[in-house]
Amino acid sequence: MSKETFDTLGNQKEVNYALRADMTKEEFIKEVVTGLMPPPGYFPLNVKMNREGYDNIKEVLDRGTQALGPDAFEAAANETGALMLDTRDPQIFAKGFIPNSINIGIDGSFAPWVGTLIPDIKQEILLIADEGREKEVVTRLARVGYDFSIGYLKGGFKAWLQSAKEIDAIESISVDELWNLKSKNESLSILDVRKKSEFESEHIKDAENLPLDFINESMAEVNKDKTYYVHCAGGYRSMIFASILRARGFTNLIDVKDGFKSIKESGKFELTEYVCPTTLL
């Protein structure tokens, strides 16, 4: 996958591994399916929706773009059991957020992560968004089948602060700060939440891999009484991971800003790659 949203077919034939002219059918199939992960849980539910029908987009937008003041927002959260989804930038979220809300930033791989981490497409959702972007968030949720946004916090998190309601925060440190801590404590617990393939390619020596994709399955491996330093590739996924666990009572996770990209560029950490046992024979 590339970041570009358009290209010429000629260039794709030159740079796209799956469009090599010298491949056999069998080689093409192997190239495309190798390393392919299971589809997100919402995929089959989307198929069901396509077969059985879904709400008109106007109804979805009208429902999701109901502006709720802090008191009404809090009441809705308490009375409906809706998921509070904060779509602000991860580092802005870290400095202050509504307790028990989770962060999936609108400016990252928003829809895929919503689909991976919120398996029930009928889950009611309350939104905390940057002012002026509420309709965009509701629309992007609806595009992947999440039609049950039931309102957003009017005035954004600033309004929540001004109402003097309870807030929470997640500590986030720089790579230099992580290095200083590790220099004093070699047994520092580092959680790498990138995909298994990314981790196996290269990672901090002695780091533990708990991919965000499988957070529900791997959560039991996190010790609530132990402090962990969490990173991903660039800081987007690690904040999602930390916010989900924070909402479930884990107060011992510290985010590492800018993730593995910054870790590698610092040149300070001992990095290693996964070696398959069979290669050692």
Question: Is the pLDDT score of 130 beyond 60?
Answer: yes
Question: Tell me, what's the pLDDT at 50?
Answer: 57
Per-residue model confidence (pLDDT) at position 15: 85
- Same CATH fold, 172-280 and 42-162? yes
Give residue limits of the domains in the chain: 42-162, 172-280
- What pLDDT digit, counting tens, does each position of 8-30 carry? 989 888 888 888 888 888 888 88
Query: What mean pLDDT is reported for the chain?
Result: 89
Question: pLDDT tens-digit profile of 188-208?
Answer: 999 999 999 999 999 999 999
> pLDDT at position 279, please?
45
> For 170-178, what is the mean pLDDT?
97
| CATH architecture of the domain with range 42-162 | 3-Layer(aba) Sandwich (3.40)
> pLDDT for 39-65, tens place per residue?
666 655 555 555 665 566 788 888 899
CATH 3.40.250.10 fits 172-280, yes or no: yes
In order, the DSSP letters of the chain are: --S-S---HHHHHHH-GGG-TT--HHHHHHHHHTTPPPPPTHHHHHHHHHHH----HHHHHHHHT-EE-HHHHHHHHHHH--EEEE-S-HHHHHH-B-TT-EE--TTSSHHHHHHHH---TT--EEEE--TT-HHHHHHHHHHTT---EEEEETTHHHHHHHTT---B---EE-HHHHHHHHHH-TT--EEE-S-HHHHHHSEETT-EE--GGGHHHHGGGS-TTS-EEEE-SSSHHHHHHHHHHHHTT---EEEETTHHHHHHHHT-S-EE----GGGG-
